[in-house]
Structures are given as C-alpha cells and as structure tokens.
Amino acid sequence: MASAISLRGDYSAAELQRLAASSRHANRSRRLLSLAAVFDGMNRTEAARIGGMDRQTPRDWVHRFNEHGPDGLKDSWANGSVPRLFSAPLAELATIVETGPDRAVDGVVRWRRIDLKRVIEERFGVAYHERTIGKLLKQIGFSHVSARPRHPGQKAEVIAAFKKTSRRR
C-alpha cells in the first residue's frame, strides 16, 4: 500500500478555511476546504466527500497545492490551440475578400469558402477545413451573407427600364 502524501507546512487548516471563505471561485473553495479537513486529521475519503469528489482526486489536488500553493487549486482551462494565421495574414485575407476575385486569375466571379481555402493554402501555406474558413471570415468581420454578383454585361439603363413604374396608392 502506498504511503500518504504530506501537505506542505506553511499553511494551517484555519488559514485554508479563511482562504476558502474569501475565494470567489466555488471549485477552489471546495478544494481548500477538503485540504483543511486533511490538515485537521480527517482521512482522505471523508475529506473528499466534503469537496464533492471521489477518493483519489484529493491526492491530485495535494500535489498541485504542494507545488503551487493555494493558487494551484484554481481551475486551469486551456486557452485553445495557437492560431495558424496571425494579424498580418488575416489583414491580407481581409483585403483579398474585399477586393473580390479576379475572374481571369481565380476563375470565379465571387468568393466561396472553398475558393478562399485554396487561396489561403497557396498564399500562406496553411490548410484549413472549409468550415474553419467561415469562422475566420466571421473573426475578421465578414458575414456569411453576401450580395449576388453583377454580370459584367449588365447595363444600368436596362435595369431601370425593367423596374415597375406603377403609381403608389
């Protein structure tokens, strides 16, 4: 059977209870109260019940408490993956989207996500999924709704003549 892990000695049970009472994070407070119970001589199973955890979990918190002190008992959520396109390439992508495609070079009349995916791979060497292209566009301020492109041979006079000219009631 493994031996119990001892808690660091620079905090007392009363100090841990005071820290738990002043903490704004409920999970950290529960962990501090469980460790305070261990300081008071309660066994680990009962101390785990105080914090609403299983028998093994306090051991992990004791390791974090011994290494980092009370700040080690805070929730540490990951910040996500590192972005593959930073501000300069994103600004260039925004310019590409704003100016629109060149029909002769790009072969399309308007940008679709699949077309932008190809452009990003060619220019920046970063491969994204088509759905992620939509998220990137939203991040830099574009909407998924776009105006329908005008045909190059469309004439303003013909459009004006075609519109209804009936009187209002």
Domain count, the chain: 2
d(CA 169, CA 164): 14
Q: Report pTM.
A: 0.48
Q: Are residues 43 and 95 in the same domain?
A: no
Domain contains 157: no
Is 118 domain-assigned? Answer: yes
Residue 36 belongs to what domain range?
13-73
User: Quick check: is 2 in a domain?
Assistant: no
Q: Is the pLDDT of residue 14 over 50?
A: yes
Kindly state whether residues 65 and 94 are assigned to the same domain: no
Within this chain, do residues 57 and 104 fall inside the same structural domain, yes or no?
no
Q: Encoding tokens for residue 152? A: 């190059």
Would you state the torsion angle of the CA atoms of residues 11, 17, 23, 28, taken in this order, to the nearest 10 degrees?
Answer: 80
Q: Is residue 103 part of a domain?
A: yes
Do 17 and 69 fall into the same domain? yes
pLDDT given at position 9:
82
Give 95-135 pLDDT, tens digit per residue. Answer: 999 999 999 998 898 899 999 999 999 999 999 999 999 99
Closest residue by Cα to residue 115 from 150, 123, 142: 123
Percent above pLDDT 90 for the chain: 36
What pLDDT, in 10s, does the model give residues 55-84? 888 888 888 889 988 888 888 777 777 888
Let me know whether 92 and 120 are in one domain: yes
Of the residues 29, 44, 73, the one at which a domain ends: 73
Q: Do 98 and 57 fall within a single domain?
A: no
**Which of the two residues, 78 and 11, has the higher pLDDT score?**
11
Q: Does residue 45 fall inside a structural domain?
A: yes
Tell me if 156 is assigned to some domain: no
Per the CB < 8 A criterion, the answer to whether 73 and 25 are in contact is no
- For residue 158, being part of any structural domain is answered with no
pLDDT of residue 59: 85
Asked whether the beta carbons of 151 and 159 are under 8 A apart, the reply is no
Residue 163 lies in a domain: no
